Amino acid sequence: MQYDVIIGLEVHAELKTKSKCFCSCKNEYGSSPNTNCCPVCVGLPGALPVLNKFAVEQTIKAGLALGFEINRTAIFERKNYFYPDLSKAYQISQLEKPICINGHLRVFDKDIPINRIHLEEDAGKLVHSGSETFVDYNRGGVPLIELVTDALKEPHMESADEAIEFLTKLRQIYIYAGVADCELEKGQMRADVNISLRPKGSKEFGTKVEMKNLMGFKSIHAAIKYEIARQKEILDDGGKIEQETRKWDFDKGESFAMRSKENAEDYRYFPDPDLLAVEISDEDVARLKKSLPPLPDEIKKKYMSEYGLSEYDTDVILADKEIADFYEACLALYPQPKSIANWFTTEVLARVKGGAGLGISKENLVWLIKAVDEKKIQRLSAKEFLADIWGTDVNAESEAKARGIMADLSSDFVFEILDKVLKEKSSVVEQFKREKDEKILNFLVGQVMKETRGKANAQEVKEKLKEKLGI
């Protein structure tokens, strides 16, 4: 049987703030366990939360970057449940009146509808060690935004590829907007994936299965494919899908049932009596909108229309904000967008992706690119040279001079060698005169290049050679 797949995403991202959401403890990854904690974030009786205004502003900015409406009054609620990583046995979250509502995100050619972004606090972390489990509450109370797509509205997300594209773009927007770092390996961005199938063409929604707390785009992609196949098989066999929460086992490449799904009612949400409603003014929204830095779509337009870059090159450069920022910094020194982009999409990215880091200063890189553009260094030697100086702090210009890789294009120098080669290879020259074969010409150019040890410009040598041979 043929089925339509419907995917809903709930995406959590830890906000970039100095302090936690409701206390002044540091929001910092990697501190020693239980050092960034206080009575408020571990929930000692009587401790009172104080809302971090900046966390609210970051949430609003996230919403504005995605075209959401901003509620002028937002409410914090308690979501009650017990788990060892949640010492106060409730999480401060938002249910009825989240900060952002009704957004969308373009995924390939679809505008995927999004219900909401709300602000809540993260829970602590369980650390498993052998047969023991420890709790680290440093993460407890860290501001977290949760975005929920509206899977029941069209157009639907329907495949693992679309879901990954959604997450990739979302992550990029959060990073560019400066609201979250979204480092996946640090768990700063996590997703719950909801999936249902229904017979092709049917209007009724199928039962959804939720997979919780997936980290890393590879697992998410694999988990979605697995779940679609699993449901298909059950439905094909005439079975029924259980509404449940499943856990993805990355190593085994399969999921298993965790628990039957709880409903919002199970959490006994109620407005947190310790926190006032948040009032957001038009002025706040206007100010925050103005403070948003340029976002990927806008930068993309500029790169393509103003800089004349291809869509591919643009996407490759913008995919990593650190690279994009570095590109702009180089451009400020040497306004040749295409020339610099060529080096970025090849040499620079290959090294960064290979794990070598951004091991070059903008001054050195620009000097080298310019030297190649001005034909002072052959492209090939420049590439080798770049590999050599990557990760060092030499001065490119003096190093290149010291190594003698700068081209010497003074005509005397090249003419001398040209004459020498023509004399030595006189039989080849005769052959060329008879056969007029481009290959033979290229062979002669190669000989000259060899003699100059790559310091001349092949194109110019060819021109001069043609001149000499009277063509």
Could you say whether residue 191 binds Zn ion (CB under 5 A)?
no
Q: How far is the CB of 265 from ligand ADP (least distance, A)?
A: 10
10 DSSP β-pair partners: 148, 192
Residue nearest to ligand ADP (CB): 8
**How far, rounded to the nearest angstrom, does the alpha carbon of residue 30 sit from its chain's CA centroid?**
21
Q: Are 189 and 16 in contact (CB under 8 A)?
A: no
Separation CA 330–CA 39 (nearest Å) = 48
| Residue 74 CB coordination number (10 Å) | 22
237-269 burial string, b = 16+ CB within 10 Å, else e?
eeeebeeebbebeeeeeebeeeeebeeeeebeb
Could you say whether residue 202 binds ligand ADP (CB under 6 A)?
no
Nearer to Zn ion, 91 or 194 (CB): 91
Could you say whether residue 123 binds Zn ion (CB under 5 A)?
no
Nearer to ligand ADP, 75 or 151 (CB): 151
Count interface residues toward ligand ADP (CB under 6 A): 17
Site for ligand ADP in 254-293 (CB under 6 A): 261, 264
Q: Residue 90 corresponds to which tokens in the numbers above?
A: 């409730």
194 DSSP β-pair partners: 8, 210
In the list Zn ion, ligand ADP, none, the entry touching 234 (Cβ below 5 to 8 angstroms by class) is: none
Candidate ranges 125-133, 189-197, 219-227, 306-314; the one touching ligand ADP (CB under 6 A): 189-197
- Nearest 5 degrees, angle CA 456-CA 458-CA 460? 85
Could you say whether residue 52 binds ligand ADP (CB under 6 A)?
no
Q: Are 194 and 8 in contact (CB under 8 A)?
A: yes
Candidate ranges 8-16, 78-86, 230-238, 452-460; the one touching ligand ADP (CB under 6 A): 8-16
Could you say whether residue 10 binds ligand ADP (CB under 6 A)?
yes
Candidate ranges 4-12, 60-68, 350-358, 382-390; the one touching ligand ADP (CB under 6 A): 4-12
Could you say whether residue 150 binds ligand ADP (CB under 6 A)?
yes
Nearer to Zn ion, 79 or 88 (CB): 88
Nearer to ligand ADP, 57 or 162 (CB): 162
Site for ligand ADP in 207-226 (CB under 6 A): 208
Return phi, psi of residue 70, to 5°.
Answer: -105, 120
Could you say whether residue 41 binds Zn ion (CB under 5 A)?
yes
Q: How far is the CB of 25 from Zn ion (least distance, A)?
A: 3
- Nearest 5 degrees, angle CA 322-CA 328-CA 333? 130
